[in-house]
């Protein structure tokens, strides 16, 4: 009922306040964000809800296409020096901020290079407390007193922006495609201050209309948006976006069935058997009603193993034994897991840590672990593990992954490995893992940017938790040398070969049990077109159309 009433409000408000179209002709795209949106400020675009909202309102220098390739955006071209340390961007001259009173009588202004200088310096300013400061930290030039150099971001003129790095970072353009790197106007920040999160001013296809934080967010079409399609038709096609915040996913599914929502992102476990057959395909009774998008996701699900002996009282703990870790790996039937536990949603994790949705992944050159009962027992004997006589190993997880954890427990018990399960809230689980208090834990890594380095950074010894993402405390000198070499390598093919060597070292040491690479599942109403999904689960609505 809340969605329905809110829909009437949207139609009335948009028609009366900002449109000459009749109610019947308005194209309003509706989706639900169960976890809500905490901020529409790009500086805090850290979760899906914020990212999807921010992506409609803001633009950056570059953007990713549906194949995760870097495309021009506000920067129409760029050059990188031979050392890979200087980026020179040539900006478009026809991009304007949304109309807003913060600009005074003109109500808007053209985006210039200095706006990016301001936006990027704001991200790294400790006073901002941005969750995105890491995209620049440890990459920019610093002075002797450890402050960032003024030459890090430099506007040569209105249309030329220069960024100077302290050292090469091959995936830097991918970082700049993240919402964190969007351009924001100084005028709006100074006027709205902390309220900028609910009063965003950007350059994107949509701009904020009204936001009831407990009910819905309405974004209206930016009628002066600078992009056009290939036929020179102005974008966007939609008149508005309505985002609801219904926490109960079952209720959201019912609203989708009623046609009150145009998109359902992710199929909950309770709905999976209803919608999908055992092959992961939409059942016949639903194919005439909905369209299904299914594609690989930049998400690797795994079991992490803390292999740092300093965290163990028992220095002969089985988890510290490489042969035992290999036995744990071989004991899991990943194909069966995907087939029966997930209705064929996901790809068995029989390769390395980098998911197949990235070009750095190679299914032919990289052999990981697959189910092998014979090898399981061989490695158990080599490890000295005595079935039935060892103290059970505790698997730390959360209630959301209980079914998966119970499946793994049965697989290991069948092999003679005693496992118990400890459930904790997500926040407690994360705290235990990052502080090294959970030696055997369920984990996942959702890619922040489209480069294999993002995954391999979980294994770099300089990134030990709790400061960095290396929660297994894997340390290998050869791996570290290859990682450093890869960070200096600007040739993509040579860098990919270095990634492959690192993956092989990782698999040989087995600090993780790769379970599966997740897949994106999206249900759409039949009257929606132009919604392209990608492996980062982005939401691009500027090219979306809706047949009335």
Cα–Cα distance for residue pair 81/86, rounded to 1 Å: 6
**Which residues does 266 contact at the CB level (< 8 Å), separation at least 6?**
520, 521, 522
Is the pLDDT confidence value at 24 over 50? yes
Question: In CATH terms, is domain 1-56+204-262+537-548 a member of 3.40.190.10?
Answer: yes
Which one, of 64, 59, 162, lies nearest residue 117 by Cα? 162
* Region 191-196 average pLDDT: 96
CATH number of 297-519: 3.10.105.10
DSSP run (H or E) holding 123: helix 113-124
Strand 419-423 relative to strand 393-397, pairing: parallel
Cα–Cα distance for residue pair 253/260, rounded to 1 Å: 10
Q: Which CATH fold would you assign to the domain 59-193?
A: Dipeptide-binding Protein; domain 1 (3.90.76)
Task: Identify the pLDDT of residue 5.
Answer: 43
Cα–Cα distance for residue pair 89/104, rounded to 1 Å: 29
Residue 398, classed as helix, strand or coil, is: coil
Cα–Cα distance for residue pair 94/226, rounded to 1 Å: 7
Cα–Cα distance for residue pair 216/209, rounded to 1 Å: 11
* Region 311-319 average pLDDT: 95
Task: Identify the pLDDT of residue 290.
Answer: 93
- DSSP letter assigned to residue 423: E
Residues 43-100: pLDDT tens digits?
Answer: 999 999 999 999 999 999 999 999 899 999 999 999 999 999 999 999 999 999 999 9
**Domains 1-56+204-262+537-548 and 59-193 are alike in CATH topology:** no
Residues 428-472: pLDDT tens digits?
Answer: 999 999 999 999 999 999 999 999 999 999 999 999 999 899 999
Is the pLDDT confidence value at 161 over 50? yes
Encoded tokens for 414: 């069948």
Evaluate whether 352 touches 360 at the Cβ level (below 8 Å): no
Residues 89-133: pLDDT tens digits?
Answer: 999 999 999 999 999 999 999 999 999 999 999 999 999 999 999
Task: Identify the pLDDT of residue 361.
Answer: 66
Encoded tokens for 484: 């450093």
Evaluate whether 337 touches 348 at the Cβ level (below 8 Å): yes
Cα–Cα distance for residue pair 353/358, rounded to 1 Å: 11
CA angle centred on 69, ends 300 and 504, rounded to 5°: 40
Task: Identify the pLDDT of residue 193.
Answer: 95
Q: Would you say the pTM of this structure is higher than 0.75? A: yes
Task: Identify the pLDDT of residue 137.
Answer: 87
Residues 509-538: pLDDT tens digits?
Answer: 999 999 999 999 999 999 999 999 899 999
Cα–Cα distance for residue pair 1/322, rounded to 1 Å: 57
Is the pLDDT confidence value at 6 over 70? no
Evaluate whether 7 touches 18 at the Cβ level (below 8 Å): no
Q: Count CB neighbours of 434 within 10 A.
A: 15
DSSP run (H or E) holding 507: helix 492-509
Residue 176, classed as helix, strand or coil, is: helix
Residue 517, classed as helix, strand or coil, is: strand
Evaluate whether 525 touches 262 at the Cβ level (below 8 Å): yes
Domain boundaries, the chain: 1-56+204-262+537-548, 59-193, 297-519
Is the pLDDT confidence value at 295 over 80? yes
Tokens 């040398």 sit on residue:
481
DSSP run (H or E) holding 265: strand 263-265
Residues 358-399: pLDDT tens digits?
Answer: 866 666 778 899 999 999 999 999 999 999 889 999 999 999
**Residue 276 exposed, middle or buried by CB count within 10 Å (0-12, 13-18, 19+):** buried
Residues 142-156: pLDDT tens digits?
Answer: 776 667 888 899 999
Tokens 């830097």 sit on residue:
172
**Which residues does 428 contact at the CB level (< 8 Å), separation at least 6?**
none
Is the pLDDT confidence value at 162 over 50? yes
Mean pLDDT of the chain: 91
Percentage of residues of the chain with pLDDT beyond 70: 94
What DSSP assignment string belongs to 24-82?
GG--EEEEE-TT--S---GGG--SHHHHHHHHHH---SEEE-TTS-EEESSEEEEEE-T
Encoded tokens for 363: 């299914």
**Which residues does 351 contact at the CB level (< 8 Å), separation at least 6?**
361, 362, 363, 366, 367, 368, 503, 514
Establish whether the linkage from the previous residue to 236 is cis, with ω within 30° of 0: yes
* Region 278-302 average pLDDT: 89
Give 340 or 203, the one with higher predicted confidence: 203
Which one, of 118, 365, 254, 135, lies nearest residue 109 by Cα? 118
Q: Please, which residues bridge with residue 380 across strands?
A: none
């Amino acid at each position: 009922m809340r969605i329905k009433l809110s829909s009437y409000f949207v139609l009335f408000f948009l028609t009366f306040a900002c449109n000459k179209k009749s109610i019947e002709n308005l194209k309003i795209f509706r989706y639900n964000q169960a976890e809500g949106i905490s901020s529409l400020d790009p500086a805090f675009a850290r979760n899906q809800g914020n990212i999807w909202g921010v992506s409609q309102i803001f633009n950056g220098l570059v953007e990713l296409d549906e194949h995760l390739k870097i495309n021009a955006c506000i920067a129409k071209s760029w050059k990188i020096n031979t050392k890979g340390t200087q980026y020179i961007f040539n900006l478009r001259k026809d991009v304007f901020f949304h109309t807003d009173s913060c600009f005074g009588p003109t109500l808007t202004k053209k985006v210039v290079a200095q706006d990016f200088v301001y936006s990027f310096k704001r991200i790294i300013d400790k006073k901002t407390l941005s969750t995105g400061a890491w995209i620049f930290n440890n990459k920019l030039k610093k002075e002797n007193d450890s402050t960032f150099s003024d030459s890090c971001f430099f506007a040569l003129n209105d249309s030329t922006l220069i960024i100077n790095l302290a050292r090469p970072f091959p995936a830097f353009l991918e970082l700049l495609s993240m919402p964190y790197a969007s351009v924001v106007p100084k005028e709006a920040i100074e006027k709205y201050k902390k309220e900028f999160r609910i009063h965003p001013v950007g350059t994107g296809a949509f701009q904020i209309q009204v936001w009831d934080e407990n009910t819905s967010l309405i974004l209206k079409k930016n009628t002066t948006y600078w992009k056009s399609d290939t036929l020179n038709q102005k974008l966007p096609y939609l008149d508005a976006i309505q985002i609801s915040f219904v926490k109960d996913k079952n209720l959201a599914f019912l609203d989708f069935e009623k046609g009150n929502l145009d998109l359902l992102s992710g199929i909950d476990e309770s709905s999976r058997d209803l919608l999908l057959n055992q092959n992961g395909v939409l059942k016949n009774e639903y194919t005439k009603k909905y369209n299904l998008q299914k594609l690989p996701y930049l998400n690797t699900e795994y079991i992490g193993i803390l292999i740092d002996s300093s965290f163990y009282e028992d220095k002969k703990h089985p988890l510290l034994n490489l042969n035992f870790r290999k036995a744990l790996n071989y004991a899991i039937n990943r194909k069966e897991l995907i087939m029966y536990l997930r209705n064929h949603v996901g790809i068995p994790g029989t390769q390395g840590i980098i998911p197949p949705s990235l070009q750095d992944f190679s299914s032919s050159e990289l052999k990981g672990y697959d189910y092998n009962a014979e090898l399981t027992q061989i490695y158990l004997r080599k490890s000295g593990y005595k079935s039935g006589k060892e103290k059970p190993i505790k698997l730390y997880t959360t209630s959301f992954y209980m079914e998966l954890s119970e499946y793994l427990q049965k697989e290991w018990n069948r092999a003679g490995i005693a496992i118990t399960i400890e459930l904790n809230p997500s926040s407690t689980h994360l705290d235990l893992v990052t502080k090294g208090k959970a030696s055997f834990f369920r984990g996942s890594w959702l890619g922040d940017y489209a480069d294999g380095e993002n995954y391999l950074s979980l294994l770099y010894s300089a990134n030990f938790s709790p400061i960095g993402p290396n929660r297994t405390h894997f340390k290998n000198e050869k791996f570290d040398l290859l990682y450093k070499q890869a960070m200096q390598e600007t040739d993509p093919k040579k860098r990919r070969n270095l990634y492959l060597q690192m993956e092989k070292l990782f698999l040989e040491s087995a600090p993780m049990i790769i379970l599966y690479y997740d897949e994106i599942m999206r249900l759409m109403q039949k009257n929606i077109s132009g919604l392209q999904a990608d492996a980062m689960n982005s939401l691009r609505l500027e090219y979306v159309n809706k047949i009335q």
